[in-house]
Amino acid sequence: MREIDVALITEAIKDMCIEVNYDLSDDMKNAMKKASENEESENGKKILGQLMENLEIAKSDMIPICQDTGMAVVFLDIGQDVHLTGGDLTEAVNEGVRRGYTEGYLRKSVVSDPIERVNTKDNTPAVLHINIIPGDKVNIRVAPKGFGSENMSRVFMRKPAEGLDGIRDSIITAVKDAGPNACPPMVVGVGVGGTFEKAALMAKEALTREVGICSDVAWAADLEKEMLLEINGSGIGPGGLGGKITALAVNINTYPTHIAGLPVAVNICCHVNRHIKKTI
């Protein structure tokens, strides 16, 4: 049994919340750079130019990349040989978010109740997903999610007979509806299979996969490439003002499902696709 004090998790999450809101991961930065080289439309080039400049200013002047610094989504993969000590794990995660958003000058965008809508003033609680894995390590992923794009996300319960076409239609419908609202160029996370909630969770997790790495399921990898081409042929373009680059990546995660179903979840993310990992 390896003992890990939850205070270490608090500290890590605090730092990760701050870092990821000021500096995108390298995979995203490279994808943005490639996009601005490949865009052909005048509007598109102009918007991508502003977005590249925005990333530089964010880092050099310590101004968050986007004012919507997100609701903090945290994935913890906890090794089964780990004994967590020093307090309540959920509270430790929330404390990390609280400190990160306060000390990091990040926006507090969380309300305590969906109808009463009173701001919690420290961006807590986080949305926490815990997985138990073999080993004696804790993997932490933090992925703050902005709601301009979150609001355009969908779950479709398809019929098995719809097959690949059902998945294609789900992705394209969600992307077209999102259009300029989701701050394109987007990253599209897709979950196929499982149950209703498993599909949604896979779609979210797909957004934390590095851009440029394809699915290890052959048909899903092919579909990722095909969908990216089709989305970029839609003409929505950067900022929704027309152009070639509407999405930077389509990431599809899959899971076994029921004989009667084909759940498809599409989690839309903007170009500020924040994800960061750390292992303790």
Partner 1 sequence: MSDKIINLPLDAETAKSLKAGEYVYLNGEMYVARDAAHKRLMELIEEKKELPINIKGETIYYMGPSPEREGRPIGSAGPTTAGRMDKYTPTLLDMGLRGMVGKGKRSPEVLEAIKRNGAVYFAAVGGAGALLSKRITESEIICYEDLGAEAIRRIKVENFPVIVVADHNGGYMY
Judged by the rule CB under 6 A, the positions of this chain that interact with ligand SF4 are 66, 68, 146, 148-149, 182-183, 270, 272
- Binding to partner 1 by CB under 8 A, coded x per residue (else -) over 227-266, reads ------------xxx-------------------------
* Number of residues counted as binding partner 1 (CB under 8 A): 40
Q: Which stretch binds partner 1 (CB under 8 A): 62-70, 85-93, 155-163, 253-261?
A: 62-70
Q: Which is nearer to partner 1, 135 or 235 (CB)?
A: 235
| Integer Cα distance of 180 and 185 in angstroms | 9
Q: Which of 40, 57, 135, 279 binds partner 1 (CB under 8 A)?
A: 57
Cβ 280 to partner 1 shortest distance, Å: 28
With contact defined as beta carbons under 8 Å apart, do 186 and 246 qualify?
Answer: yes
Q: Is residue 152 classed as helix, strand or coil in its secondary structure?
A: coil
Cβ 244 to partner 1 shortest distance, Å: 17
- Decide if residue 54 touches partner 1 (CB under 8 A): yes
| Integer Cα distance of 134 and 137 in angstroms | 9
Please measure the distance between the N-terminal and C-terminal CA atoms of the chain and give it in whole angstroms.
Answer: 14
With contact defined as beta carbons under 8 Å apart, do 261 and 155 qualify?
Answer: no
Query: How does 136-155 read in b/e, with b if 16+ C-beta sit within 10 Å?
Result: eebbbbbbbbbebbbebbbb
- Residue at 89: amino acid letter: L
Strand partners, 216: none
- Decide if residue 50 touches partner 1 (CB under 8 A): yes
Q: Which is nearer to ligand SF4, 86 or 148 (CB)?
A: 148
Q: Which stretch binds partner 1 (CB under 8 A): 8-16, 66-74, 132-140, 225-233?
A: 66-74
Strands 138-142 and 276-279: antiparallel
- Decide if residue 68 touches partner 1 (CB under 8 A): yes
Cβ 154 to ligand SF4 shortest distance, Å: 16
